[in-house]
Amino acid sequence: MDNSISLNKFISDTGYCSRREADNLITAGRVLLNNRPAQLGNRYKPGDTVEVDGSLITAAKKEKRVYLALNKPAGITTTTELHVKDNIISFIGYPKRIFPIGRLDKDSEGLILLTNDGDIINKILRAENYHEKEYIVRVNKPIDNAFIQQMSQGVPILDTVTLPCKVHSMGRQTFRITLTQGLNRQIRRMCEYLGYAVTGLQRVRIMNIKLDKLALGKWRYLSDAELSILMENISDSSKEKTPNKPATQTATPPKRGFKPKDGRQAGKGKGTKPATREDKPHTGKKPERSWKREGADGKSRQVGTGRQTAESATRQKSPKGQPTRPEKNGGKEKKGPESKKGRRGGAEGSFKNYRNKGRR
């Protein structure tokens, strides 16, 4: 029986950091597994030794999971690196080792969750789950309906177009926005693209967890009811292989020559037939095209077809091997004199002469 676990999960279970941060440590070469540099995808077995930055870490005893909600002030950096000035771990001063779920810009304030449960962090942050986060934003000048509409539909930043989102005006320079993705400094970049600067940004909700009346700089435990709904939402979204997500800005165009019929493509499925022009039998040959020319007597005559026929294949040639072209002359054909100026010899020269004569 294989009782190994992924190395990043082992590091996370010790309470050292989240799985994502463990992967970053491994990629940076700061983790040793059995005295050898660890690689992404390595697995830990009981008896293995794991070191991070030269310090041995051991499996922690199962401890009670804690889930905190903090109203982060601006100026606090969302990092577990204790040497960073004004880091969130030192600011909150919790007695057990915890780490933040996601990030909130240093210049921003509002709701952020912290925990010692590495599994829940992975599930909440997984991009394909599209969990909602709600913000109240203040900008440097009045907003209008065009601004609200553009923000809602998506804005091109960071070599992509943001997903459609909910945006509502709250005042001359304030609006509420609900995102389902978490690009780096997304709201600030979106506003900047539209010619606005963010002067204040507060996160007020993460999924079902609301900031409510929690004072700035204070934290609280999540209630049992909040935690129950949160776990249920995470469980449901992680089971979906293709979660419901907002429509993207681009769509794949349908293939040419196929028309939907009864929810299926023509030519596919029982009881369907290939989609041919005017439902005519498909012979595998392209139809011949023809044109008509009006003679001097006012009657139309078929002159030729788009494809060479037996009749058109036997063209008369001039003594010099040059093909002649039909001209208006009572329905008769005549040979035009060759132009020395445009003559190049062969069929090409004759054809150019014919064209030049028609212009004159």
User: 19-27 and 118-125 helices cross at what angle (nearest 10)?
Assistant: 90
Surface-to-core class of residue 5, CB atoms within 10 Å of its CB (0-12 exposed, 13-18 middle, 19+ buried): middle
359 membership: H or E segment, kind and range: helix 346-359
Out of 13, 53, 86, 105, which one is annotated catalytic? 105
Residues 291, 305: Cα–Cα separation, whole Å: 7
Residues 249, 237: Cα–Cα separation, whole Å: 23
The verdict on whether 105 is a catalytic residue reads: yes
Residues 347, 350: Cα–Cα separation, whole Å: 5
If one counts every other C-beta atom within 10 angstroms of the C-beta of residue 122, the result is 18
Residues 6+ away with beta carbon under 8 Å from 106: 74, 75, 76, 77, 78
If one counts every other C-beta atom within 10 angstroms of the C-beta of residue 187, the result is 23
Contact 104, 78 (CB under 8 A): yes
**Which residues form the catalytic set?**
105
